[in-house]
C-alpha cells in the first residue's frame, strides 16, 4: 500500500510540476514586459495610458485604484501625486536612450526591475535627464503588472509612488473630514 501511494504521488508530481512551473513567471518574461512599456516612449509618441481604461494593462488593480482615488481626491483641474508620467518619471521626452533593465525574481509571481535610461540623446558622452527607477512587478497568469515604482533618480529624495499616493489620499481625507461642519 505504501509503495502504491508513493508511485501515485510521484506520478502526480511528474504531471503537475512542469505545468506549475510553466504557469509561473520568470525574469525573462518580466524583462520583456518592461521593455514593451518603453517601446511607447519614442520621439513624438504618447507613452502609455496610465490613467485611462487601458491602465490595467500595465498596473495592478490596487495601484490603479490608488491612482484613481488620488485623482478624485484632488478634484478636477488639480494636480495630485502624478504630475507626470510614472513610467518615465517625466513630462516630456525625446525618446529613451541607453535603456538598461535588470530583473530579479522575488517569488514566482513577484519581481523587481531596476531600470535606468536617459530621456534625451547623449551629448558629448554625457546623459541628459538620466532616470533610475525600481519597479515592483506582480505576475498574474502569464501577465506582469506594475505594483509600485520607486524613483531613485535623486538618491537624497527617492519617490515611492504607492507610498506617496496613500499619504496624499489620507491627508486629503483628513482635511475634508476636519472641514466638515460640526
Higher pLDDT among residues 91 and 127, named by residue: 91
Q: How confident is the model at residue 20 (pLDDT cuts 50, 70, 90)?
A: very low
Q: How confident is the model at residue 182 (pLDDT cuts 50, 70, 90)?
A: low
Q: How confident is the model at residue 2 (pLDDT cuts 50, 70, 90)?
A: low
Q: What mean pLDDT comes out for the span 171-181?
A: 78
- Measured CA to CA, the distance from residue 34 to residue 58 in angstroms comes to 9
What is the pLDDT at residue 15? 44
Domain extents in the chain: 25-179
- Measured CA to CA, the distance from residue 3 to residue 99 in angstroms comes to 55
pLDDT tens track for 98-125: 999 999 999 999 999 999 999 988 775 5
- Measured CA to CA, the distance from residue 165 to residue 172 in angstroms comes to 11
pLDDT tens track for 72-85: 988 888 888 888 99
Is pLDDT of 18 > 70? Answer: no
CATH architecture of the domain covering 25-179: Roll (3.10)
pLDDT tens track for 22-42: 445 899 999 999 999 999 999
pLDDT tens track for 118-160: 998 877 556 568 999 999 999 988 899 999 999 999 999 999 9
DSSP for 20-48, written as a single string: HHHHS--HHHHHHHHHHHHTT-STT----
Cβ neighbours, 10 Å, residue 33: 22
**Percent of the chain residues past pLDDT 70, beyond the cut:** 82
What is the pLDDT at residue 125? 56
Amino acid at each position: 500500500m505504501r509503495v502504491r501511494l508513493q508511485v501515485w504521488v510521484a506520478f502526480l508530481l511528474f504531471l503537475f510540476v512542469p505545468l506549475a512551473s510553466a504557469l509561473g513567471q520568470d525574469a525573462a518574461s518580466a524583462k520583456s514586459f518592461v521593455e514593451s512599456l518603453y517601446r511607447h516612449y519614442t520621439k513624438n509618441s504618447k507613452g502609455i495610458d496610465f490613467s485611462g481604461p487601458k491602465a490595467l494593462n500595465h498596473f495592478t488593480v490596487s495601484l490603479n485604484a490608488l491612482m484613481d482615488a488620488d485623482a478624485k481626491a484632488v478634484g478636477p483641474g488639480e494636480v495630485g501625486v502624478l504630475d507626470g508620467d510614472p513610467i518615465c518619471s517625466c513630462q516630456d521626452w525625446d525618446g529613451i536612450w541607453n535603456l538598461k533593465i535588470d530583473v530579479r525574481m522575488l517569488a514566482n509571481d513577484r519581481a523587481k526591475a531596476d531600470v535606468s535610461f536617459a530621456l534625451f540623446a547623449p551629448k558629448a558622452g554625457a546623459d541628459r535627464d538620466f532616470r533610475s527607477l525600481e519597479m515592483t512587478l506582480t505576475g498574474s497568469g502569464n501577465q506582469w503588472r506594475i505594483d509600485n515604482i520607486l524613483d531613485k533618480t535623486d538618491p537624497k529624495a527617492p519617490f515611492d509612488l504607492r507610498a506617496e499616493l496613500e499619504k496624499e489620499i489620507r491627508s486629503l481625507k483628513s482635511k475634508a473630514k476636519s472641514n466638515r461642519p460640526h
